[in-house]
Structure 1
Amino acid sequence: MLTALLILSLGGPALGPAGARGSWVIGGKAVVPHSRPFIASIQMDGQHFCGGFLVWPKWVMTAAHCPILRHYPSMRVVLGAHRLGQPEESQQVFGIEESIAHPLYNPLTVDNDIRLLRLNSSATLNKFVKRVRLPSPHVDLKPGTVCSVVGWGDTSNYGERPTQLMEANTTIVKRGLCRTLWKGRVSDNMFCGASQNTTLQGVCAGDSGGPLVFRKKVYGIVSFSGERCGDRRHPDIFTKISNYIDWVHRIVLGHRHPKGQHKHTPGPEVAEGPGAGARAAALWWAGREGPGFLHRAPARGGLMADGN
């Protein structure tokens, strides 16, 4: 999950399209078991491919670019886990009743990369499974703020996987500098984070949708990184949750009060129609290089309207 360093030398970025590789937790350490009770593992066919976190008993937040297929039988959300490869009495497993991407999510620019998952039943809150707090609307994190990123995934570029949940620190980078490093691909809806030292440390495939945590609140969602994990020219990018608090509340409260709720449309990559979910799953799964998923930066340039 964790792999990226900030280096101020500006080489030409080696960018690639969104893709799938093993998930990485490089430069991190194992957390105390069940000390991050809000973390969620989103799985297909029993394999973890995206992270998420519990924001209400029936709602998990993740990234819009994670390919969440509605009504796909083997798609599930696991809460209360520490070791994904072992059965744990603490684990609670859920199906996905509804998958709602932000209506302005743009898969080319990766802007508005946020998604809510409505579980098929409410989580039982206990010492292993808890909600996490969200920030107030439009709160920013100052450059230099040290946050943490949590997730499961490979611990090296050679496919080594951890046996337990991992965590590493990342430091918020000035948005202006980040835009320079990313050649304008960073919007005001994003945070940038990088390691403070020479240790490879950051996010990569499979950490998508996971939390950026500061003082027990989740401020960001893992969104994308450079084409290659550990590329020192590009800080990791996180969705800025505080810009979406009103939208989140409208979705959740709309489902609590059905009489006044609108029909919410899924994100653009969610399959529709008879058999479409299975077809989309097969196409995505066939193109995978490993069990993880991370949105790679778009190869095309000049896509951001505010690229200053």
Structure 2
Amino acid sequence: MSLTMQLLFFVLLPVAFRLPPGSQAGEIIGGREAQPHSRPYMAYLSLWRGHKSSFCGGFLVSENFVLTAAHCNGDIITVRLGTHNLRNWEYNEQRIPVCRSIPHPQYNKVTLNNDIMLLQLGHKARLNGYVRRIPLPLPHQRMRPGTVCSVAGWGRTSAHNQLSSDTLRETDVVVMPDAACPRDPDGIYRNYNASTMMCVGDPEKGKSSFRGDSGGPLVCQGRAQGIVSWGSEDGTPPAVYTRVSTYIPWIRATMRRLQP
């Protein structure tokens, strides 16, 4: 199998999305079903581009903004907040159309650098016990290797089937040293950038985000430190996350500029 095919996105976007060769998506491997509504910041994104549909994760960072991965863009995006089981309409659920998507201006579809995007909601979310914001990290804050964080999503649970999860699932993952994602010119981590990316997941424990979890948050010490971005084709950790703390100035400036 070519090295190009080993590098993939964590979102099941159709071929019609014209993604880079081999790019795909992610679910939680080695995880468990989350306690319903224990992660009230989680957002499920329904994506349409042309006649093709897909989905991603995201997280609420203000009443009218959701943060996700830039590769989760689409022509039409609808955000579901306050949901746990996707098959059920829950009384506490809010569905809000996205009125504007703002991918990072330096997002690179080939290297996946700057894989971060703000979504401006069509109207403010109603904050309550089921829908809440998650705090962002301090600018340029770094998590030490060995820090235990968590990740959640509705993506696939195995590399051996195409089934995604109806219910939100979660797992604990470990922040790895940057050297665990070596920039070998012939390896899958050849485009790893330590200033904008995080290397997360102990290969010996086998727990990781996978296809369908793209855009969801890596939560460390109560803050959204990372965004599910890309990893190996079979879901073997470590996976690569966008380092949110690098982008705090851009996030703040963009939300301030677009506030009504």
TM-score, length basis structure 1: 0.72
SS at match of 1:95: strand
Aligned twin of 2:6: 15
Aligned twin of 2:37: 34
Contact 2:107 2:116 in 1 (8 A): yes
Code of the residue aligned with 1:51 in structure 2: it is G
Aligned twin of 2:110: 108
Identity of aligned residues (%): 37
CA offset at residue 93 of structure 1?
A: 0.3
SS at match of 2:6: coil
Code of the residue aligned with 1:30 in structure 2: it is E
1:194 aligns with one of 198, 201, 205: 201
Alignment of 1:66-105 (within 5 A): 66-69=72-75, 72=76, 75-105=77-107
SS at match of 1:65: helix
More strand by share: 2
Aligned twin of 2:120: 118
Aligned twin of 1:63: 69
| Cα distance in structure 2, aligned partners of 1:177 and 1:231 | 13
Contact 2:200 2:240 in 1 (8 A): yes
| Cα distance in structure 2, aligned partners of 1:13 and 1:142 | 30
Residues 1:230 and 2:227 aligned together: no
SS at match of 2:240: strand
TM-score, length basis structure 2: 0.84
Quick one: structure 1 residues 66 and 13, their matched pair in 2 at CA, closer, same or farther if it must change by over 3 Å?
A: closer
Residues 119-157 of structure 1, C-alpha deviations (whole Å, 9 max, x = no match): 000000000000000000000111111111110122222
CA RMSD of aligned residues (A): 2.1
Contact 1:170 1:196 in 2 (8 A): no
Which runs of 5 or more structure 1 residues have no equivalent in the other structure?
A: 1-11, 258-308
Code of the residue aligned with 1:159 in structure 2: it is Q
Residues 99-119 of structure 1, C-alpha deviations (whole Å, 9 max, x = no match): 001111111111111000000
Runs of 4 or more consecutive aligned structure 1 residues displaced over 6 Å after TM superposition: none
| Cα distance in structure 1, aligned partners of 2:200 and 2:116 | 18
Aligned twin of 1:208: 214
Residues 24-73 of structure 1, C-alpha deviations (whole Å, 9 max, x = no match): 2221011111000000000136976110000000000000111322xx3x
Contact 2:57 2:216 in 1 (8 A): yes
Q: How many residues in Structure 1 have an aligned counterpart in Structure 2?
A: 237
Contact 1:24 1:154 in 2 (8 A): yes
